[in-house]
């Protein structure tokens, strides 16, 4: 097994963890509604995403190493090989999102218990340590369950805003490939690799605008209305379901479709900047 293969496996693992934790963060909304402690639940989202940030810290240098190795490869298929590796990494992102979807029923219960116990202990580190005790781990294993067909009967999109749910799939796909596109563009134009690597923001910026203006406020509104009794809890459950379904579709389909178009978009901008600088 080559060093490149080792790097690809490690990057795939961290990508799976990143998407798993980000997918599970959706279920924190439902846990907040059930415990009526939405502020604490949103704080827990930030704590949970620390795992994603740490994974990204290890993943990013390895991605850079893969690009550097590609640039130094002598044969003509090096870029195509890197593209295929990136597509495999995207598939790992889908795997993480799917695991998050499958674990949501269990994690809603776990997060609800955690939120309740936090109100007693008042310490996140102490709470985290207690969850890793043998007794707690055994209880967690007993709680494991996957989404059942019967539970899908309560899922409905009728009372939910449709546009944010559709945009969520686009946002997820763009976030998934933003950095990969800039790295791939850098490998295709190695003399301006640093410039291309800094341009992931022109892809991710689109997703950030859509998420900030349309997706997140709509989900927060449904959650707040459920807290105040204006909506049933089933609407929050449906929102979480469709947000995760959009994430699955975004990583499995849209990310794969948009990888090369956005890569060439970054290449185009890089060439413009290169001509302007010279």
Domain ranges of the chain: 3-272
Residue pLDDT, tens place only, 132-173:
777 777 777 777 777 777 677 788 888 899 999 999 999 999
Residue pLDDT, tens place only, 76-125:
789 999 999 999 999 999 999 999 999 998 888 888 888 888 777 677 77
Predicted TM-score of the model (pTM) = 0.90
Q: Judge contact between 131 and 168, C-beta under 8 A.
A: no
pLDDT number for residue 278? 67
Which tokens hold the place of 57?
């810290």
Residue pLDDT, tens place only, 179-193:
999 999 999 999 999
The percent of residues above 70 in pLDDT, for the chain, comes to: 96
Nearby residues of 21 by Cβ (< 8 Å), 6 or more positions away: 48, 49, 51, 52, 55, 96, 100
């Amino acid at each position: 097994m080559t060093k490149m293969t080792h790097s690809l496996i490690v990057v795939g693992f961290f990508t799976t963890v990143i998407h798993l934790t980000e997918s599970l963060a959706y279920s924190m909304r439902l846990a907040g509604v059930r415990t009526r402690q939405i502020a604490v639940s949103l704080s827990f989202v930030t704590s949970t995403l620390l795992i994603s940030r740490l994974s990204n810290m290890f993943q990013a240098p390895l991605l850079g190493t893969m690009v550097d190795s590609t640039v130094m490869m002598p044969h003509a298929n090096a870029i195509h090989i890197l593209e295929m590796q990136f597509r495999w990494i995207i598939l790992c992102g889908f795997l993480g999102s799917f695991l998050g979807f499958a674990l949501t029923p269990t994690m809603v219960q776990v997060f609800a218990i955690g939120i309740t116990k936090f109100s007693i202990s008042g310490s996140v580190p102490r709470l985290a340590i207690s969850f890793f005790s043998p007794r707690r781990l055994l209880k967690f294993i007993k709680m494991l369950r996957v989404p059942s067909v019967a539970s899908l009967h309560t899922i409905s999109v009728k009372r939910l805003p449709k546009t944010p749910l559709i945009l969520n799939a686009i946002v997820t796909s763009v976030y998934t490939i933003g950095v990969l596109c800039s790295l791939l563009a850098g490998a295709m134009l190695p003399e301006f690799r640093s410039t291309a690597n800094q341009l992931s923001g022109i892809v991710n910026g689109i997703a950030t605008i859509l998420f900030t203006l349309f997706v997140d406020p709509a989900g927060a509104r449904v959650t707040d209305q459920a807290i105040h009794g204006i909506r049933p809890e089933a609407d929050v459950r449906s929102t979480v379901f469709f947000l995760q379904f959009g994430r699955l579709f975004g990583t499995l389909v849209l990310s794969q479709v948009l990888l090369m178009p956005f890569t060439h978009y970054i290449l185009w901008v890089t060439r413009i900047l290169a001509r302007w600088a010279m």
